[in-house]
Amino acid sequence: MDIVVLFAVGLAFVIMSVMIYPIVREKFVDLIAKNVREPKGVAGRIVRFILGKGNAYLENQVVEHLNIQPNHKVLEVGFGSGIGIRAALKKMENGHGRVYGVDISEQMVTCAMKEFKLAVERQRLEIHLGSVMDLPFQDNLFDSVFHTNCYYFWPDLEQGIAELKRVMKPGALMITGVIYEKLKGAADKGFMRYGPHWQPAKYMERLEEGGFMNVTMETVKKASGPSYEIILASKAIKE
């Protein structure tokens, strides 16, 4: 008798689990998908931690590719956990350059303000709460611009691209970092549902239509670390 009851309870548990799992999974995927677009609350903190660990290599490599000089003005859009900001600041230790970061997430901005308090006070860094859609900068300001894992979430790709071109100096370089395999894997699992235009080819097309020059994508594989993609795009010297 006891065995029969035990079996019935076990079976009920298995059936319930099978029924509940897709619902729980869907809720989990949706929560993460929302928070990679704009980290908020407790989930945002967890996502910030994961991004900081998972994307540090890409952020650091993108900064290496930029050829930042100590007196440059450099913008990162969608800085998230702030790894790229830290790397760019390092490049300017011996100069009078300045790093600028823009992110739509209040949480990312608050964390960055705390983490980089000294650099902000020394006016080596400006952190802005805002969107790539409407950048709070004058025309032709930046020597270089970068962003990693970000363009997918812009509400209007053309508008974001036009804004970035507007604030770049003539001849300035923009580098976009992605890890295509990882991105595709995330999209396949439903994590890119709030980042619909994640395909690099579409983004590159928009860059060219938006007047960027020499738009190319390179896959880079170094001795250590995973392979990653950089999309290079320059603002024309004369328009």
Ligand X SMILES: C[S@@+](CC[C@H](N)C(=O)[O-])C[C@H]1O[C@@H](n2cnc3c(N)ncnc32)[C@H](O)[C@@H]1O
Within 40-99, which residues bind ligand X (CB under 6 A)? Answer: 51, 55, 59, 77-81
Q: Which of 163, 140, 180, 138 is nearest to 78 (CA)?
A: 163
Residue 153 binds ligand X (CB under 6 A): yes
HEC letters along 114-159: HHCHHHHHCCCEEEEECCHHHCCCCCCCEEEEEEECCHHHCCCHHH
Under the binding rule (CB under 6 A), the answer on residue 183 touching ligand X is no
**What is the closest distance, in whole angstroms, from the C-beta atom of residue 150 to ligand X in the complex?**
4
In one-letter notation, the amino acid at residue 216 is T
Contact set for ligand X, span 96-115 (CB under 6 A): 102-105, 108
Q: Per rule CB under 6 A, is residue 192 in the interface with ligand X?
A: no
Interface with ligand X, residue 143, by CB under 6 A = no
Told to check if 38 binds ligand X by CB under 6 A, we report: yes
Residues paired with residue 75 on neighbouring β-strands, in sequence order: 100, 145
Our CB check for ligand X shows the closer of 105 and 234 to be 105
Extract the tokens encoding 118: 């000294």
Q: Which stretch binds ligand X (CB under 6 A): 7-15, 66-74, 150-158, 203-211?
A: 150-158
Token reading at 106: 């209040």
CB of 142 or CB of 153, closer to ligand X: 153
With a CB cutoff of 8 Å and minimum separation 6, the contacts of 195 are 33, 36, 37, 152, 153
For residues 162 and 188, give the distance between their C-alpha atoms in angstroms, rounded to a whole number: 29
What is the smallest separation between the CB atom of 6 and ligand X, expressed in angstroms?
46
Binding site for ligand X (CB under 6 A): 36-39, 51, 55, 59, 77-81, 102-105, 108, 131-133, 148-150, 153-154
